[in-house]
Amino acid sequence: MSAILVARDLTRTLPGEVPVTLVHDVSLTINRGEFVVIKGPSGSGKSSLLYLLGLLDQPTSGTLTLEGEDTTGFDEDQLAATRLAKLGFVFQFHFLLAEFSAFDNVRLPMRRLDRLADDIQRRRAMELLHDLGLVGHEHKRPSQLSGGQRQRVAIARALANDPPIILTDEPTGALDSKSSSNVKDILKELVRTRDRTVIAVTHDDHFAAGADRQVEIIDGRLV
């Protein structure tokens, strides 16, 4: 098993009159195809760590190596380009663009990356939506979809550019139990059948039980 993501002594301190350290000296190696769950009490720094691993935030110190590439010193544009091609996010709230249909939301990352021909992008967006059980809902706006459906659109969008790593932050936190288990099944399926690395922040012990590995964070430190 090869390491896809290696964090070394990641520390993130918010500057200010009283500096707040969100993440303390976290070292973590995640292998390709691994399903890792990050657990911990509320306010322990799970989301903050996920943002660092997902290149949404920059560590105050420490290094992060992604697919063998050291991301230290990347500028904003390089970070964005890396997120675009290699990372997919699913957040607690669906985070779709309200003015775009499900289909158009899924196409967004592909259009920005612009690596595939337009008709192939369209076909792929359709396939992803169908894979996620959204047949017949392709052209609905987010406001016309249920919470679970929106979250599935968000997953389809996270998968659009076929990134090796998916990061999710309590993707089922805002869903009822039925949609929630449905979304969880989809995420588990992703790891099993598609050889994808999934890093998930969750409170849900049942969901966590299905992971290859669970790491726990308390007060910003791994335990």
Ligand X SMILES: Nc1ncnc2c1ncn2[C@@H]1O[C@H](COP(=O)(O)OP(=O)(O)OP(=O)(O)O)[C@@H](O)[C@H]1O
Which residues form the interface with ligand X (CB under 6 A)?
14, 20, 22, 40, 42-48
State yes or no: residue 28 binds other proteins (CB under 8 A): no
Q: By CB under 8 A, what part of segment 148-167 binds other proteins?
A: 157, 161
State yes or no: residue 44 binds other proteins (CB under 8 A): no
Q: Which of 32, 33, 71, 95 binds other proteins (CB under 8 A)?
A: 95
Q: By CB under 8 A, what part of segment 165-204 binds other proteins?
A: 169
State yes or no: residue 138 binds other proteins (CB under 8 A): no
Nearest approach, Cβ of residue 49 and other proteins (Å):
12
Spatial CA neighbour of 100 closest among 157, 182, 171: 157
Distance CA 129, CA 110 (A): 14
State yes or no: residue 92 binds other proteins (CB under 8 A): yes
Residue type, 211: A
Beta-carbon contacts of 91 under 8 Å, excluding residues fewer than 6 positions away, are 154, 168, 169, 171
Spatial CA neighbour of 39 closest among 170, 195, 186, 192: 170
Spatial CA neighbour of 52 closest among 79, 17, 85: 79
State yes or no: residue 35 binds other proteins (CB under 8 A): no
State yes or no: residue 48 binds Mg ion (CB under 5 A): no
User: Which of Mg ion, ligand X, other proteins, none binds 44 (CB below 5-8 Å, type-dependent)?
Assistant: ligand X
Distance CA 208, CA 124 (A): 30
Mode of pairing for the β-strands spanning 3-14 and 61-66? antiparallel
Q: Are 111 and 121 in contact (CB under 8 A)?
A: yes
Question: How many CB atoms are located within 10 Å of the residue 63 CB?
Answer: 15
User: Which of other proteins, Mg ion, ligand X, none binds 20 (CB below 5-8 Å, type-dependent)?
Assistant: ligand X
Q: Which of 47, 149, 151, 161 binds Mg ion (CB under 5 A)?
A: 47
Radius of gyration of the CA atoms of the chain, in A: 17
Nearest approach, Cβ of residue 1 and other proteins (Å):
27
**Between 109 and 171, whose beta carbon lies closer to Mg ion?**
171
State yes or no: residue 80 binds other proteins (CB under 8 A): yes
Q: Which residues bind Mg ion (CB under 5 A)?
A: 47
